[in-house]
Amino acid sequence: MIQSHNFHQSLISIKTFMINQIIKIILIIGLLSFGLPLPTGGSQGEGLPTTRIRHFQFHYGASIQNLPAGSRVQVWSPMPQTTSHQKITLLGWNIPGNARFTNETKYGNQIIYFKTKANESREITFQISYQVERHEVRSLTDMDDQLAKTLTSQQQVNFLTANQLVPIGGKPLALIPLVDLPKDAMGRGHVLYNHVGDHMRYDKSKPGYGYGDALWACESRFGNCTDFHSLFISMSRSLGIPAKFVMGFPLPQTRGQGKISGYHCWAYFHVKNRGWIPVDISEADKHPQMRKYYFGNLTPNRIEFSTGRDIILVPRQSGPLLNYFVYPHVEVDGKPWPMELISKQFSYEDIQIK
């Protein structure tokens, strides 16, 4: 009886294995039929994630310098929020004056706003700390119920219309190889991803980069993440594909702690009845071995802070629309304070969750 039972269990195990393999084969055939890359695991190439979840603390701070004594200082700081790909816990802050939470209405960005007066030291320092659980994104294989499979009419407007530095049509559209362009949004997004990757190179050695100017990116053919993804978004929207710009910060792949020198950005394009598909074309250019991975996938080595361009803060800033919102926006006596007089202080430390 024992041998018969074991034999029966073995048959069940074999059938289960065969069913799982068939499902995997069907999924692979489906991806290949659209010309899409297959997701790869952490052991199959340098730079690929070794784990799908990362836990860390993130410290966001700044020192506002050379302030006139007695001047009225207003500070808007972007606040990361919980999404389907990250869980955010506010640990605490050290902020002078009274702070409050506000919400930017167009894109739904959260803001920590405070105002105070400069004292005789002529300097104001603040820090905000968060605990983060960040997940790897694999949108080509993971069907996440929380992803927006359809967009509201307002979202259609937000992510299909032009921004000041992200036009519709013109030079970006002229760069798109229209011959044999796929009819579906997923296929077109893949073509644009590769086309921008071929057109641009990651290079910050020359002036002009970092504004996210799609026309400039067309002509210069180099820049940082803002330039890569502004061009991608301009092309996508020109083809009627909703696309959005996301700002945050990168973390090194190696676990530990340290300072973070600056921001990182990436983009999403929308496929109806599927949801938002991420692309990180500048990282793919920096790490060519991950070019297939960064279409539809994101490592957990990042934190997302804000979405959108041409941003109106709450309360409304006195200065012009913000090109994007990742560093603190500061106004002194109703005028924007120069960014070179704001010493930014960002750091992280990985933690273990029991």
Cα 245 off chain centre by: 7
Q: What pLDDT sits at residue 44?
A: 32
Give the residue-averaged pLDDT of 276-295. Answer: 98
At 95 the three-state DSSP class reads: coil
Q: What pLDDT sits at residue 178?
A: 79
Is the pLDDT confidence value at 31 over 80?
A: no
Structural contact between residues 304 and 80, judged by C-beta atoms closer than 8 angstroms: yes
Q: Mind giving me the DSSP string for 168-206?
A: SSSHHHHTS--TT--SSHHHHHHHHHHHHHHH-EE--SS
% pLDDT > 70, the chain: 86
Q: What pLDDT sits at residue 354?
A: 79
Report how far residue 123's alpha carbon sits from residue 279's, in angstroms, rounded to the nearest whole number. Answer: 39
Q: What pLDDT sits at residue 84?
A: 93
Q: What pLDDT sits at residue 37?
A: 47
Q: What pLDDT sits at residue 43?
A: 30
Strand 222-223 relative to strand 201-202: parallel, antiparallel, unpaired?
Answer: parallel
Compute the mean pLDDT over every residue in the chain, rounded to the nearest whole number: 89
pLDDT, tens digit (0-9, with 9 covering 90-100), for 181-191:
999 999 999 99
Is the pLDDT confidence value at 24 over 50?
A: no
Is the pLDDT confidence value at 16 over 80?
A: no
Domain ranges of the chain: 54-133+316-350, 139-299
Structural contact between residues 291 and 284, judged by C-beta atoms closer than 8 angstroms: yes
Give the residue-averaged pLDDT of 42-66. Answer: 82
Picking from 292, 200, 195, the residue whose alpha carbon sits closest to that of residue 238 is 195
Of the pLDDT bands very low, low, confident and very high (cuts 50, 70, 90), residue 48 is confident
Contacts of 244 (CB under 8 A, 6+ apart): 158, 159, 233, 267, 268, 270, 276, 307, 308
Q: What pLDDT sits at residue 50?
A: 81
At 183 the three-state DSSP class reads: coil
Contacts of 58 (CB under 8 A, 6+ apart): 80, 129, 130, 131, 132, 249, 303, 346, 347, 348
Is the pLDDT confidence value at 5 over 90?
A: no
What type of residue sits at position 137? Answer: V
pLDDT-wise least confident of 31-45, 87-101, 230-244, 285-299: 31-45
Which residue's entry shows tokens 């996210």?
212
Residue 71 buriedness (CB in 10 A; 0-12 / 13-18 / 19+): middle
pLDDT-wise least confident of 18-22, 176-180, 214-218, 223-227: 18-22
What type of residue sits at position 336? Answer: P
At the top level of CATH, the class of 139-299 is alpha beta
Q: What pLDDT sits at residue 143?
A: 67
Q: What pLDDT sits at residue 39?
A: 45
Any idea what the Cα angle at residue 267 is, between residues 24 and 31, rounded to 5°?
20
Report how far residue 89's alpha carbon sits from residue 351's, in angstroms, rounded to the nearest whole number. Answer: 14
CATH fold of 54-133+316-350 reads Immunoglobulin-like (2.60.40)
Is the pLDDT confidence value at 15 over 80?
A: no
Of the pLDDT bands very low, low, confident and very high (cuts 50, 70, 90), residue 166 is very high
Is the pLDDT confidence value at 258 over 80?
A: yes
Picking from 19, 22, 18, the residue whose alpha carbon sits closest to that of residue 30 is 22
